[in-house]
Amino acid sequence: MRAHHLDLSRRFLGEELYETDLFFIAVMARSYGLADGFISAFDSWNPAVMAPLVRLQIDSLVRVSYLAKAPKVDDVALYLIGGGEFRGLKDADGKNLSDRRLIEHAEEIHPWIDDVYKATSGWIHFSPAHISAAVQVTPDNSDDESILKVFGGIPIRPEQIPLSALEELLGAMMRATGELFGYVQTWEDAKKAKLEARADANRSAE
């Protein structure tokens, strides 16, 4: 998937550039960096880095998802390229496009996204997720519950993180990245259709 960022980008950038192309260049550059960092974190069994990277990929996905259904895509892309932010825009209901509102819009197409967003957001700010990953406290004596056993370490030991947790993070990252690719491919197809329509019009005029 990391390599596919390059292949897909070469394809959709192969012809004329539109405002939306510039938006997708930024999206794909960010996604490539996140995927690259995720692979390194996965190889070192580091969920404290993996989970925030998934959260950042979802951040991109919900924005691309909204852009795909915006009535004037090029205008929105131009606004963003000029330094505007999604939270400065309003949707058809007059609501500002906050992160929460973007998630609500994205859920219509990606019903899984809110649960993963909430789970990975717990790793952005210091939370119980960091504590439970770093240290486990359990009773050490069945007769005296006040005697506790502490297991942990710095850095977090691989045996402290269950394989299932890494599998869930890997699955979420792959899904978010794959669905992001889907939007870029849709833009690639739309761009080809624009160019073909223009070519047909020129031939007709001749």
Please provide the DSSP assignment of 1-57 as one string: -HHHHHHHHHHHTSS---HHHHHHHHHHHHHHHHHHHHHHHHHTT-HHHHHHHHHHH
* pLDDT (tens digit per residue) in 127-155: 777 777 777 777 777 677 777 777 777 88
Residue numbers of the domain that contains 33: 2-126+165-205
Q: Are the C-beta atoms of residues 19 and 77 closer than 8 Å to each other? A: yes
* pLDDT (tens digit per residue) in 44-54: 888 889 999 99
Inside any domain, residue 132:
no
Inside any domain, residue 148:
no
76/68 Cα distance (integer angstroms)? 10
**In which residue ranges of the chain is pLDDT below 50?**
none
* pLDDT (0 to 100) of residue 15: 74
Inside any domain, residue 152:
no
Inside any domain, residue 74:
yes
- Average pLDDT of every residue of the chain: 89
How many domains, the chain? 1
* pLDDT (0 to 100) of residue 51: 94
- % of the chain at pLDDT higher than 70: 98
* pLDDT (0 to 100) of residue 206: 67
Inside any domain, residue 155:
no
Angle at 62 between CA 59 and CA 65, to 5 degrees: 145
Inside any domain, residue 158:
no
- The residues pairing with 96 across neighbouring beta strands, listed in sequence order, are 90
Q: Are the C-beta atoms of residues 51 and 125 closer than 8 Å to each other? A: no
Inside any domain, residue 157:
no
Inside any domain, residue 154:
no
